[in-house]
Amino acid sequence: MLAKSKAKPSSTRRNTVELLFGDLWEFDPAPELADPKLKESYALFIDGQFAAPRSRKYFDSINPGTEKALASIPMAGKADIDAAFQAADSGYRKYWSKMSGNDRGKYLYRIGRLLQDRSREFAVAESMDGGKPIKESRDFDLPMAAAHFFYYAGWADKLEYALPGANFKPYGPVGQIIPWNFPLLMLAWKIAPALATGNTVVIKPAETTSITALKFAEILQEADLPSGVVNIVSGAGNTGQLIVNHSGANKIAFTGSTEVGKAILRATAGSGKGLTLELGGKAANVVFDDAPIDQAVEGVINGIFFNQGHVCCAGSRLLIQESIAKVFVRKLKHRIASLRVGDPLDKNTDIGAINSREQLQKIERLVEAGVHEGAALFQSSCSLPRRGWYYRPSIFEGVTQSHRIAQEEIFGPVLSILTFRTISEAIEKANNTAYGLSAGVWTDKGSKILKMSAALKAGVVWANTYNKFDPSSPFGGYKESGFGREGGKQGICDYLKVS
């Protein structure tokens, strides 16, 4: 049909035409100006009260966008963790275990609404403390966090419908440890189902991102949540260890690295504690030659560069069918050219700051390994701010299964591109990983989606989309990506002892 156009192209011309993504129309800075209402120094939240740490130790939380200290954060020690579990125990006995599901739900609704009321303030705090672009904290983290409270509020008085015919009861006090990539959202994922099912909580935010968790304690006070039901303790790895090993913790819920997850699994073995782990990933995004190409490009970009690639389910391995590999990679490079890297508080920023200096160094190390092992590196030529920890969006071509960058989780804006010829090769390569958290499939053919979603060993398989979340949809992994599910009805079961 297009025969008439085929006379025109000449191969020399085809190679010389290129798109120009320059600075003809530069955007002025558009900073988000809402006040994050930060304090100079924060306190632990134990038994409904803000309290200075008995350890008397503090550490600084750094703004990764500027490398400046934001606030002083308490480092909870043994005495603090003891007090927190004591409070969680009395909160459970005195209030939470005696309250009806209906009443628990009211508190959760209240928390969700208060979070919505203060969402802009929290979004700015989240972006300053963690480095994620304001448009993501504003449009994703905060609305999703509130949605989780609303969703589980609805379950609180309907638990018998989640587990018809079963006998179940809550664990009581549980210990929860969350990562730095989605600080407030992971807190919501942990606290909302735990409270809905009648447990009480001792939760520790990650060392580099404690501020929104400690701000969240203000919301709990405002919601008049009975004392001891939620206790928030900040600190580093040692504090986490104290929680995991504490005799008062009847269950541990952990989201973080596979390495730490394994240590927790060893530490809790034989203790009788319940355990759910949500660990690393090295997800494959599989693009077939019949896929809607531009939308697949967008999905791949979103899959790997969302939140600077600090996403456990990031689509960090792209598997493209060989017949479209060349055109697909060219389109990826065009798309990367219009990504804006910079100040997390600028509303036009697509990729913000890397969460910490350590993480930046880890990314640099792994990219170096990729180059050393012979993969071809392409990086965006965008300018980076002079201060702060930033990394250019990067893609590696010519990656094979044996490369470190195809096997290890980089947790940064780095995509490894592999190719395949047949559907069985795609499945084999996608599953050739220690992880199994998520995967993506891009095709115009429904039957291929069904086949792939059954064959891919991953907790979530997205079809013609990526990084799509909803509180009603369970999330969790296979293999070294952990076990247990968060979200949905399944997320309830993991906070109940069923007999």
Partner 1 sequence: MPPVALNKSPLKRLLDEVGPVDQVAIEERVAKFTTRSIKKSSKVWGLNLVVSMLDLTTLEGKDTSGKVESLCRKAIRPDEFVVTPTVAAVCVYPAMVTHARRCLGDAKIKVASVATGFPSGQFPLRTRLQEVKQAVRDGADEIDMVIQRGAFLTGDLQRIQNEIAATAEACGEARLKVILEVSELETYDNIRAASFLAMAVLRPGDFIKTSTGKTSGNATLANNQVILEAIRDFYLETGTPIAIKPAGGIKNSKQALQFLIAVKETLGDAWLSPERYRFGASSLLNDLLMQLRKQQQGVYQAPWKFSDAFSGY
Is 408 a residue of the active site? no
Residues paired with residue 62 on neighbouring β-strands, in sequence order: 69
SS3 368: helix
CA-based nearest residue to 115, from 240, 234, 225? 225
Q: Do 42 and 59 touch, CB atoms closer than 8 A?
A: no
State yes or no: residue 290 binds partner 1 (CB under 8 A): yes
Considering only residues 327-366, where is the footprint of partner 1 by CB under 8 A? 330, 334, 338, 347-348
State yes or no: residue 30 binds partner 1 (CB under 8 A): yes
Catalytically annotated residue among 126, 136, 207, 278: 278
Stretch that binds partner 1, among 2-10, 37-45, 185-193, 353-361 (CB under 8 A): 2-10
State yes or no: residue 14 binds partner 1 (CB under 8 A): yes
Handedness of CA 48, 49, 54, 58 (dihedral sign): positive
Catalytically annotated residue among 32, 126, 312, 409: 312
State yes or no: residue 299 binds partner 1 (CB under 8 A): yes
Is 278 a residue of the active site? yes
State yes or no: residue 34 binds partner 1 (CB under 8 A): no
Cα(190)–Cα(471) distance, integer angstroms = 12
State yes or no: residue 498 binds partner 1 (CB under 8 A): no
State yes or no: residue 17 binds partner 1 (CB under 8 A): yes
What are the structure tokens assigned to 492, written together?
Answer: 């309830």
**In the complex, least distance from residue 338 CB atom to partner 1, rounded to whole angstroms:** 4
317 Cβ contact partners less than 8 Å away, ≥ 6 residues apart = 282, 283, 284, 285, 399, 406, 415, 416, 417, 418, 430, 433
x/- map, 131-160, partner 1, by CB under 8 A: ----x---x---------------------
322 Cβ contact partners less than 8 Å away, ≥ 6 residues apart = 419, 420, 421
- What's 287's DSSP letter? E
Of the pair 29, 374, the CB lying nearest partner 1 is at 29
CA-based nearest residue to 86, from 56, 120, 117, 48? 48
**In the complex, least distance from residue 463 CB atom to partner 1, rounded to whole angstroms:** 10
State yes or no: residue 473 binds partner 1 (CB under 8 A): no
Other CB atoms within a 10 A radius of the CB of residue 442 amount to 31
State yes or no: residue 293 binds partner 1 (CB under 8 A): yes
Catalytic residues: 278, 312
Residues near partner 1 (CB under 8 A) are 1-5, 8-10, 13-14, 16-22, 24-30, 135, 139, 290-295, 298-299, 330, 334, 338, 347-348, 444, 464-465
